[in-house]
Amino acid sequence: MRAGVADVNAVEVRALSYRYADGTKALRAVSLVVAEGERVGLVGPNGAGKSTLLLHLNGLLPERPSASPSVCVLGVPVAEPNLREIRARVGLLFQDPDDQLFCPTVWEDVAFGPQQLGVRGAALEERVARSLGQVGLAGFGERLPQHLSRGEKRRVCLAGLLACEARVLALDEPTSDLDPRGRRELKALLQALPVAQIIATHDLELVVETCARVVVLDRGAVVVEGPPTEVLADEARMLDLGLEKPHILRHRHPH
Amino acid sequence: MHDRLLSPYHPGGSRMHRMPAGLKAGGAAALVVAVVLLPRDAWAGYAACAAFLALVAALARIPGRVLARRILLLEPFVLGVAALSLAQQGGGRVFLAMLAKSTLCLCTMVLLSGTTRFSDLLRVLWRLRVPALLVTSLALMYRYLSVLMDEAARMTRARRSRTFSAGRGLAWRGSATVAAQLFVRSSERAERVYAAMCARGWRT
């Protein structure tokens, strides 16, 4: 963290509301602050607004940017003139890796973001190689996305975000449909990345294991937030929200 | 089936494989034009082209079996077009010439795609300043064809697991539903892919 910007939060959401075109209210006055380098879990039942919130972080929603944006990333408001800068800073990991990997080869896909930012030649080569190395896929450049496993695809997606040198990662269900090894590797990777992360997930164990703070959303509003070991341990409330107390918090003996 | 169609590339390290993609694409295009321009009864010319292609196949170390299978897969289309000429007068010779010409062109393309990765061919098109929209469309099509085919296969399988009678009408209706569903899902996926592209700075 550079001196002078230490007091700027990675993400600041102030009283954000959003209504889909069909009238469904997806977010109701959501406020959320994430410090630089902090990992925050975002949990809640299906339809609680987790993905909708993530799409706001890099300006994909609302469709027409509002005049008074409720979201700030690293001190920069998410508004039309700043979108280029915002999208470079916020890496969005989509739920289905096949949506995110749209290039013919892994190399081209990882290079897509930096190319949009004007990185070319040796610098581009270096960035792509470094990002692939970071996710443990060095040498995968010439592989074709359709020949990768689910976990590998997810890691290529992540490399594509790291190649943009994103300082905030917004991850939508990063561990869904990963096998235990894929999940373990992804968890280790997320823990090793020194950038702010917002992890929307149903994987409550992941939240307990990786996040210092959890935010619970229900029907578009923040219900409660705090340390996962406290918030998620409240069994009655968890069941009421359609969630459950993570197994890892049930026993105090080592597994 | 799906793999054979979508991965025409036959991995290898032969001299043909290592040759620059642009050179191969240019050579293939030139050969196709030459074959098309050959007079109808120039059988010696056809033979010469065939011999050249055989040499290329040998240099590329692509087994004849693999080549034959790919050509047979595509040959019905050629036959369909060539058969139209049988209706006209003296159609027999036209038919044979068309068959020979299209088979030679087909072999050229099979050899090109067998020794050159599709992504390299796309880069050649890009360098040749083929309109970006066309190259992007080709790249996306190549990427998502397999995703779509997998999706269709999964839907068909799920459909079949719940189909108990063997009625043909029902089966047709089932296929129609799968096709319609596939269309809907594809357009939804297109929106998500576009969002993912924008998320990484496309058009901002």
Asked whether residue B105 falls in the same domain as residue B182, the answer is no
How close does chain A come to B141, measured CA to CA in Å?
Answer: 9
pLDDT band, residue B4 (cuts 50/70/90): low
CB-based contact (8 Å) between A127 and chain B?
Answer: no
Q: What pLDDT is attached to residue A4?
A: 45
Q: Nearest-CA residue of chain A relative to B145?
A: A146
Give the separation between CA A128 and CA A141, rounded to whole angstroms.
Answer: 8
For the segment A41-70, what is each residue's pLDDT rounded down to a tens digit? 999 999 899 999 999 998 888 888 777 889
Q: Which of B91, B125, B159 is the last residue of a domain?
A: B125
Asked whether residue B40 falls in the same domain as residue B96, the answer is yes
CB-based contact (8 Å) between A87 and chain B?
Answer: yes
CB-based contact (8 Å) between A162 and chain B?
Answer: no
Asked whether residue B41 falls in the same domain as residue B142, the answer is no
How close does chain B come to A205, measured CA to CA in Å?
Answer: 27
Asked whether residue B135 falls in the same domain as residue B99, the answer is no
Q: Which of B93, B125, B157 is the last residue of a domain?
A: B125
Q: Tokens 């064809």 appear where? A: B145
Asked if A74 and A89 count as a contact pair (C-beta separation under 8 A), the reply is yes
For the segment B132-158, what is each residue's pLDDT rounded down to a tens digit? 899 989 999 888 988 888 888 888 887
Chain A residues within 8 A of B198 when measuring between CB atoms: 60, 87
Q: Which of B85, B108, B125 is the last residue of a domain?
A: B125
Chain B residues within 8 A of A92 when measuring between CB atoms: 196, 199
Instruction: Return the structure tokens found at B30.
Output: 């030139």
Asked whether residue B63 falls in the same domain as residue B92, the answer is yes
Give the separation between CA B10 and CA B117, rounded to whole angstroms.
Answer: 9
Asked whether residue B172 falls in the same domain as residue B142, the answer is yes
Which residues constitute the domain of residue B60? 2-125
For residues B51-63, average pLDDT: 91
Asked whether residue B141 falls in the same domain as residue B171, the answer is yes
- C-alpha angle A10-A19-B191 in degrees, rounded to nearest 5: 80
Number of structural domains (chain B) is 2
Q: What is the ipTM of this complex?
A: 0.77
Instruction: Name which residue leads in pLDDT, A135 or A254.
Output: A135
By residue count, chain B amounts to 204
Helices (H), chain A: 50-57, 83-89, 97-100, 106-116, 121-134, 150-162, 180-192, 204-210, 228-231, 235-240
For the segment B68-98, what is each residue's pLDDT rounded down to a tens digit? 888 888 888 888 888 888 887 777 888 889 8
A102–B198: do the CB atoms touch at under 8 Å?
A: no
For the segment B167-199, what is each residue's pLDDT rounded down to a tens digit? 677 777 778 888 888 899 899 999 999 999 999
pLDDT band, residue A253 (cuts 50/70/90): low
CATH class of A11-44+61-99+166-248: alpha beta
Give the separation between CA A8 and CA B109, rounded to whole angstroms.
Answer: 58
Chain A residues within 8 A of B192 when measuring between CB atoms: 94, 96, 99
Asked whether residue B104 falls in the same domain as residue B163, the answer is no
